[in-house]
Amino acid sequence: MTTDRRPRVVPADAAGIAEAAALLRAGDIVAFPTETVYGLGGNALDPMAMARIYEAKGRPAHNPLIVHLPDAAAARCLAATWPEPAERLGRRWWPGPLTLVLPRAACVPDIVTAGGGTVALRVPAHPAAQALLRAAGVPLAAPSANRSGEVSPTTAAHVARGLAGRIPLVLDGGATDVGIESTVLDLSGPMPVLLRPGMISRTELEREIGPVEVPGRTRLHDEPRPSPGMLERHYAPRAPLHLLDAEQDAARLIRAVRARGGRVGAVTLGGPPPDADEVIPLPADADRYARGLYGALHRLDELGVALILAVAPPPDARWDAVRDRLRRAAHPSP
C-alpha cells in the first residue's frame, strides 16, 4: 500500500552510506545521487529487488534498467562480450556519464533487461555512488528516481517529493552536476548506435571509436525497439511545455493562459525573459543550462503554473542532448 509518507533523507556520509548499503543487501531499494541525476537503486542480481523498482516507479515491464558498477572490470563481468569500442570508451569516460549497451552475461536476471539479450552498463563518477557501490558489494540497477514519465530528480528533495510513500531512504549528496541523464550507446550490433544523447556528445564518441549511428525519429510499429524507454512519455513536467523559436511572440500564448485564470512559467536561455509570471533564467551555455534545466522544471511545477515556455536552444551539436530533453518534455507522447 502506498502512503504519502516522505522517505527519510540522510546525508551521503559514512553513516548514510552504511545504512543504505545494508538496506540494499537486504533486498530493499534506495535512492542515491549520481553525477547525472538521482538513481533508484537495488541489487541487480536480485529479481525481487528489481520488481520493487518497477513497482515504485510505475515503470512498464518492457523498459530495461541500467546496471551501475564501481569500475570497468566489474562492468565487463556482466557482458557476454567486450568489444574494442567498449574498452576504449570505458578507458576514456568511466567513471562518468556514459552508458554502454552490450550482450548480457548469463548472471543478469531477465527482469533487468526486460527479457532482452542486452544489458546497459554504467560506472558513475559521483563519490557517493562510488562509495555505495563498494559498500553494498553488488551491482546496482538504477533508473532515474522518479515516477515513470516524470522529470528526473536532480536533488534529494525532488526524489522525496516524487517517490513519497514508495521508498524508505534517499541519500542526499546535493544537487547533481551534469543535470540530465547519461549518454546511452548501443555496442551490441554491427554499428555503434546512439540511443540517448547526453552531455558526452556523438562527436566526442566518434573521435574515440569512429562513426556512430543515430536511429531515425520515426519508427514503424513492427521494427525492433532498440531503446524501449525512448518511446515512453518522458521527462515531462505536469504543465505543458511549449518551445518558443526565436521569432515567436510569447505574448499571445501568455494572454491566452491568463484569460483562463492560469499563470505562465518560463525558462530563459541567456536572453531577455518572456513576460511570464514565473521566470527562471538559465545560462546560454549548454553544460550550465543542462545542470539547471530539471531543477527549473520541478520548481515551475511546484509553483503550479499552467504553461511552461522554453526558448529553443541554438541548432549546434553542443545543445543536442538539451534539445532532445526539451523536445520530449514538449511532446510527451511518442
Rule CB under 6 A: which residues touch ligand TXA? 34, 36-37, 39, 63-66, 99, 101, 113, 116, 118-120, 122, 124, 142-144, 181-182, 184, 195-196, 226-230
In this structure, are residues 136 and 256 in contact, taking their beta carbons and an 8 Å threshold?
no
* Residue whose cell numbers read 529553443: 312
Least distance to ligand TXA from the beta carbon of 132, Å? 12
53 touches, from ligand TXA, Mg ion, none (C-beta below 5 to 8 Å by class): none
**CA torsion sign, 324 to 65 to 215 to 126?**
positive
Least distance to ligand TXA from the beta carbon of 182, Å? 3
227 touches, from Mg ion, ligand TXA, none (C-beta below 5 to 8 Å by class): ligand TXA
209 touches, from ligand TXA, Mg ion, none (C-beta below 5 to 8 Å by class): none
In this structure, are residues 22 and 43 in contact, taking their beta carbons and an 8 Å threshold?
no
Burial status of residue 330 (CB atoms within 10 A of its CB: 0-12, 13-18, 19 or more): middle
Q: What amino acid is encoded at 44 in this protein? A: A
Least distance to ligand TXA from the beta carbon of 205, Å? 15
CB-nearer residue toward Mg ion: 93 or 294: 294
CB-nearer residue toward Mg ion: 141 or 311: 141
In this structure, are residues 326 and 310 in contact, taking their beta carbons and an 8 Å threshold?
yes
196 contacts: CB under 8 Å, gap ≥ 6: 99, 181, 182, 183, 184, 227, 229, 230, 324
Least distance to Mg ion from the beta carbon of 150, Å? 9
Least distance to Mg ion from the beta carbon of 141, Å? 12
Residue ranges in 14-126 assigned as alpha helix (H)? 14-25, 47-57, 72-76, 84-93, 110-113
Run of H or E including 255: helix 250-259
CB-nearer residue toward ligand TXA: 34 or 268: 34
29 touches, from ligand TXA, Mg ion, none (C-beta below 5 to 8 Å by class): none
Q: At what angle do helices 14-25 and 127-136 cross, to 10 degrees?
A: 50
Least distance to Mg ion from the beta carbon of 143, Å? 5
Strands, E, within the chain: which ranges? 8-11, 30-32, 39-43, 66-68, 98-103, 118-122, 140-141, 169-172, 183-186, 193-196, 241-244, 264-269, 278-282, 307-311
153 touches, from ligand TXA, Mg ion, none (C-beta below 5 to 8 Å by class): none
109 touches, from Mg ion, ligand TXA, none (C-beta below 5 to 8 Å by class): none
Least distance to ligand TXA from the beta carbon of 253, Å? 30
183 touches, from ligand TXA, Mg ion, none (C-beta below 5 to 8 Å by class): none
CB-nearer residue toward ligand TXA: 226 or 265: 226
Kindly list the residues in this chain that would bind Mg ion in the complex (CB under 5 A): 144
